[in-house]
Structures are given as structure tokens and as C-alpha cells.
């Protein structure tokens, strides 16, 4: 399903985080960046992991890495929180789910109120009871 602008904003704000890996730590780390030291393993090029929850903090760190000519790798991943499946379900739009739920609820209220008013009519009740007596024989 196609995501709306609101869906994309929800995902960017509450779901996505940017992982930036570098060979060596930079001199300046902007506010809002979580620093994770990666264990030394053979064959792994990048030893330092920086996690940015906001795109502004990630852009500031990337800009600094470019200015200091450092090699880096970026990756955007989903956060591991309880909120992620609610805000960003796979292949679904939260906006259209909410709109569908509201339309369904309003339709159900109108249908049930119409049926209640219809069944409250004494003449209709009498016709229904006579029809049931005829069917039963």
C-alpha cells in the first residue's frame, strides 16, 4: 500500500534510526548521537558505531566526517521498540487503517440506530410475527 506523507513522517520520527560506522572515532560528536564500541573481529572494517535517532544529528555527524575526510558507512534501520509494529506495520499504511476504522465505526452506528428504530415500529413487529406464523403453518 502506498504510504501517505503522515505515514512517512511517523516512520522518520518514531521508527527509523541511522547507523553510521567509521574506522576511527571523529573529533566531534554532535548531541543526540549514541556511541557504541564494536568488538574487534577479523574481517570487520569498521570499529565504531554511532546511532542517530534524528536525521539532523545524523546529517551533522556525516557533514563532520566529510570535512575531516573520514571513511564511513551509513545504514537506516528500524528501532527495536514496542512502538515500531504499531506505527509502521509492514506493507501497510497507518493512515488508511485509521480512516477505514473511523468510516466502519460511523457506518455501524448509523446501521444499528436505523435497525433499532425499524424494530421499534409496532406495525412492522406485527407484520413480522404474522409472517412467522404463516411460515410455521
Per-residue pLDDT, 44: 81
Whether the pLDDT of residue 92 is over 90: the answer is: no
**Percent above pLDDT 90 for the chain:** 52
**Percent above pLDDT 70 for the chain:** 99
33-37, strands of its sheet edge to edge:
33-37, 48-52, 16-22, 72-78
**In this structure, is the dihedral angle defined by the CA atoms of residues 120, 124, 130 and 132, taken in order, positive or negative?**
negative
pTM assigned to the model? 0.70
For residue 131, give Cα distances in angstroms to 119, 123, 126: 15, 12, 9
Per-residue pLDDT, 102: 97
Whether the pLDDT of residue 119 is over 90: the answer is: no
Q: Give me the phi and psi of 88, to 5 degrees please.
A: -135, 70
Q: Give me the phi and psi of 114, to 5 degrees please.
A: -65, -45
Whether the pLDDT of residue 18 is over 90: the answer is: yes
Per-residue pLDDT, 118: 87
- pLDDT tens column, 35-53: 988 888 787 888 899 999 9
Amino acid at each position: 500500500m502506498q504510504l501517505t506523507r503522515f505515514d512517512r513522517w511517523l516512520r522518520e520520527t518514531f521508527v527509523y534510526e541511522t547507523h553510521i560506522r567509521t574506522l576511527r572515532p571523529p573529533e566531534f560528536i554532535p548531541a543526540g548521537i549514541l556511541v557504541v564500541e564494536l568488538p574487534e573481529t577479523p574481517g570487520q572494517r569498521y570499529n565504531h558505531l554511532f546511532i542517530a535517532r534524528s536525521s539532523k544529528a545524523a546529517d551533522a555527524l556525516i557533514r563532520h566526517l566529510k570535512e575531516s575526510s573520514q571513511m564511513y558507512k551509513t545504514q537506516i534501520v528500524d528501532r527495536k521498540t514496542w512502538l515500531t509494529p504499531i506505527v509502521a506495520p509492514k506493507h501497510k499504511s497507518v493512515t488508511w487503517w485509521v480512516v477505514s476504522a473511523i468510516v466502519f465505526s460511523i457506518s455501524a452506528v448509523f446501521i444499528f440506530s436505523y435497525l433499532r428504530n425499524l424494530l421499534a415500529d409496532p406495525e412492522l413487529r406485527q407484520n413480522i410475527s404474522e409472517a412467522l406464523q404463516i411460515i410455521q403453518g
